[in-house]
Amino acid sequence: MAKRDTKSTRVRAPGPDDQEERALGAPALRIAGVDEAGRGPIAGPVVAAAVVLDWARVPAGLDDSKKLSEARREELFEAILADHGVAVAVSSVERIDATDIRAATLDAMRRAVRGLAIAPDHVLVDGLDVPPGLPCPGSALTKGDARSLSIAAASIVAKVLRDRLMTLASRSHPGWGFEIHKGYGTAAHMAALGARGASPLHRRSFAPVAAALGIVREPKRSGPKKPKARNATADLFGAG
């Protein structure tokens, strides 16, 4: 009779945990979780956050920001900023339109990691891509915000900050409902876009905006376009 293998695979509990970080050497090594908010909207910037958790002070309830209520995200946002290493970076609408959303997102992630007060030993990035130009090795983790506590924390920071930026932007650009839909292409947003046209916050490189404005989109060039000059929108959301 064959000897039974008593070595079992650890069953992962629902929600993010610290398995990925510990496999990379945490807590002895500094592992940064990185995530973004704003890839999907048709208006507004993309915001990236990098978080290095203090494992002695991890707040209860960290999870993918999309699974949390706004009130709970706000509570966790304050707790993360109070006790953990955090840096954020923003890629503006101008940068998104001058390159593309993927390049703008990866660049914001790179700048967020480089903005940490102490460079991490390794970076865990939500998604499929590791940004180029990091100061340390990195790994991409699909559905990382549901698997890694560090990435979940980064997702909360990025989401709360971007939501606040869009609410602030609605005061300068009223009538499109940015404070409600945060730039996502909801039915109400598309109706406002059709009735009012595009604001300076709308991404003209995105098909729904281009279609609403009757813009004929040029074929993609082999290289990146030259960034446009700064304007009030860039000043509101950062130079990136």
Instruction: Tell me the domains of the chain and their CATH numbers.
Output: 19-172 (3.30.420.10)
Give pLDDT tens digits for 13-65: 678 999 999 999 999 999 999 999 999 999 999 999 999 999 999 999 999 99
Please give the residue that has the higher pLDDT: either 8 or 42: 42
pLDDT category at 146 given cuts 50, 70, 90 is very high
Please give the residue that has the higher pLDDT: either 218 or 238: 218
Q: What is the pTM of this model?
A: 0.85
Average pLDDT over residues 59-88: 97
Asked if the model's pLDDT at residue 212 lies above 60, the reply is yes
CA distances from 109 to 50, 59, 127, 176 (A): 7, 23, 12, 28
What letter represents residue 232's amino acid? A
Give pLDDT tens digits for 160-174: 999 999 999 999 999
Asked if the model's pLDDT at residue 179 lies above 90, the reply is yes
Question: Which of 79, 96, 101 is closest to 157 using CA atoms?
Answer: 79
Q: Which residues pair with 87 in a beta bridge?
A: 50
pLDDT (0 to 100) of residue 13: 61
Average pLDDT over residues 207-226: 69
